[in-house]
Amino acid sequence: RTFMRTTALAAGLLSAGIAPFALAAKGGNSGGSQTARNPLRIPPTIAPGGAALTAAPASVNLGGGKLSSVLAYNGFFPGPTFRANNGDVADIAFTNGLAAETTIHWHGMIVPPAADGHPVDAVMPGASYAYQFPVEQRACLNWYHPHPHMKTGEQVALGLAGAFIVNDAEEAALNLPSGLHEVPLILRDANFDSSGNLTYTAKSSGFLGKTPLVNGTLNPQLVVDTAIYRFRVLNGANARVFRLALSNGAPFVVIGNDGGLLDTAPASVVELEFGPGERLDILVDFRDLAVDDRVMLRCLSAGWDLLEFAVARAVTVAGEIPVGALSTITALADPVLTREFSFDGMSRINGRVYDMHRIDFQVPLGQTERWRFKTGGNAPHPVHVHGASFQVVSRTGGRGRVLPWERGWKDTVLLLDGETVDVLIRFDAYRGLYVMHCHKLEHEDMGMMSNFEVV
C-alpha cells in the first residue's frame, strides 16, 4: 500500500530534482540491538523557488530495522530542508495527500497572511495551494509544519515538519562551519505501536513520547571530524522541553536562536533549555578530541542519550570560534502600549478559547508594543507569535532572567509556571490576520490561541 504511494511520489520527486533516497525500503542501519547506533539522517535540501511539496502517508526506515508508517513531506521524515538567501522568492506548490485538511505554517518566516497557513485557509484532502512569499529576513533557522484547526498536534506528531534555513551576507562573512560541518538537528519525541508505526494520543497536558528521535532517526550517531561543528537545532516536539548537555562536559557555544545571530559575542553554556518551536544555533568544538572518541548529546530532563558523536577523522582545517559581537541588532524601544496575555488552564488566553472567526485584537502596523505573557498554571507554555519577531526584555519569577540564548530576535519564548515574560514587538511587514498561541500543540489545538489583525 505504502509502496504504491511512494513510487508515485518518487516520480514527482525526480521531476522536482530530488533524489528519493529516503524512500528506499532498507537503509544502512546496523542491526537490531538496543545500543546499535544508526547513521543520523540528513534531510535533502531544496530551494523554495518553484518547489513542489506534498504531504502524504509514507513508509520510512527510522533506523530501527523496520519500516514505520508516518506522515511525510515528499516522502521524507523530517521533510526536505528548504534553503534560501535573503531576497529569494518562495513559490511552493503544495498538495494535500492526507485524508484530513491541513495547512503549512512557515514558523519564523515573515510572510503575508495568505501564505501563513492560518487555519481558515485549510487545504482540503486532494487539493493544492500555492504558498508564495518573498524571503525578506536575516539569516536564521526556521521551520514548517501543519497548522489546521485542532489537528496540528496529531499531524506534527505523526511526522510533518521540516527545516527552512535562510542565509545572508552578514552570516557568510563570519565563515561559520558549513557543508558537512553544518548539521540540522530536529529533536522530538515519539510513540510507536508494536509494528513500529508512529502513534499519537492527545493529552491535555501535552503529548510526551517515550522515544527520542533526531532527524527522524532512532539511536542516531554522527561521524565527525576533529573540527568545530555548527548545529542548527530545532525543538520539534509537541510538548517536551529539552535540557541539553554534552557527556564530556564541553560547552555549547551559542551563536544564534530563532531569529538569527546574537548581537553579543558567542555565549558558552554547558546546559541549554528550550521549548517546542524554539531554535538554537550552536557551535561544538571537537578539535581536541582523538579519533575513536565518543561524545553524547544528552537531554538531562528526560535522561535520554539523544545523539552520539563518533570522532573518525583528524583534520587540520578545523575552523575557529568567532570572537566579538556576531551581529548588530537595533533594540526596539518606547512601546506605546502594553498588552497582557494570560495563558489560562490548557485552552484559553485571557479567559477565551480560540475561535478562528473571531478577531481578538488589532495591532497597528509599525507600532512598537510591549506584550506581557503570564501563566495561570499548566505551564510550560511556549508562546509563539506569527507575523513578526520580538525581543525578550524581561522575565520575572521562576528562572528570573532572560537567558543568554534568548537575546536578539525570537518568535517563540518559553513561559514556565509563575513566570511573567515581557517582549517588545513591532509588525513591520504585512497587514492582515495572524495568530499568537501556545506552541504546546495540544494546548493550541484545545484553543490556547488568539487571532489578531495587523491594521
* Minimum separation from the CB atom of position 148 to ligand C2O (A): 11
CA distances from 376 to 194, 341, 392 (A): 38, 10, 20
**Cell 501535552, residue?**
206
In the list ligand C2O, Cu ion, none, the entry touching 439 (Cβ below 5 to 8 angstroms by class) is ligand C2O
Nearer to ligand C2O, 156 or 289 (CB): 156
Taking the C-alpha atoms of residue 330 and residue 335, their distance in angstroms, rounded to an integer, is: 14
The set of residues, in sequence order, having a beta carbon less than 8 Å from that of 179 and lying 6+ positions away, is none
CA dist 310 and 405 (Å) reads 27
Of the candidates 78, 4, 92, the residue with the CA atom closest to the CA atom of residue 47: 92
Q: Which amino acid is at 207?
A: F
Q: How far is the CB of 149 from ligand C2O (least distance, A)?
A: 12
Contact flag: residue 105 with ligand C2O (CB under 6 A) = yes
> Of 181 and 439, which CB lies nearer to ligand C2O in the complex structure?
439
Size of the site for ligand C2O (CB under 6 A): 10
Query: Sign of the CA dihedral 124, 126, 132, 137?
Result: positive
CB of 17 to ligand C2O, least distance (A): 27
Minimum CB separation from ligand C2O for residue 116, in Å? 9
Question: With respect to ligand C2O, which residue has the nearer C-beta, 384 or 407?
Answer: 384
Residues sharing a CB contact under 8 Å with residue 1, sequence separation 6 or more, in sequence order = none
Interacting positions 424-453 with Cu ion (CB under 5 A): 438, 440, 443
Which of 41/279 has CB closer to ligand C2O? 279
For residue 431, which phi and psi values (nearest 5 degrees)?
A: -90, 155
Q: Looking at residues 258 to 287 of the shown chain, list those that interact with ligand C2O (rule: CB under 6 A).
A: 277
Closest CA to 191 of 201, 178, 204, 183: 201
148-207 binders of Cu ion (CB under 5 A): none
Which of 420, 423, 404, 400 has its CA nearest to residue 412?
423
* Residue of this chain nearest to ligand C2O (CB atom): 107
Lay out the site mask for ligand C2O across 130-169 (x = CB under 6 A, - = otherwise). Answer: ---------------x-x----------------------
374 makes contact with Cu ion (CB under 5 A): no
Element containing residue 432 per DSSP (H, E): strand 432-438
Among 230, 279, 386, 410, binds ligand C2O (CB under 6 A): 386
Residues interacting with ligand C2O, by CB under 6 A? 105, 107, 145, 147, 277, 384, 386, 435, 437, 439
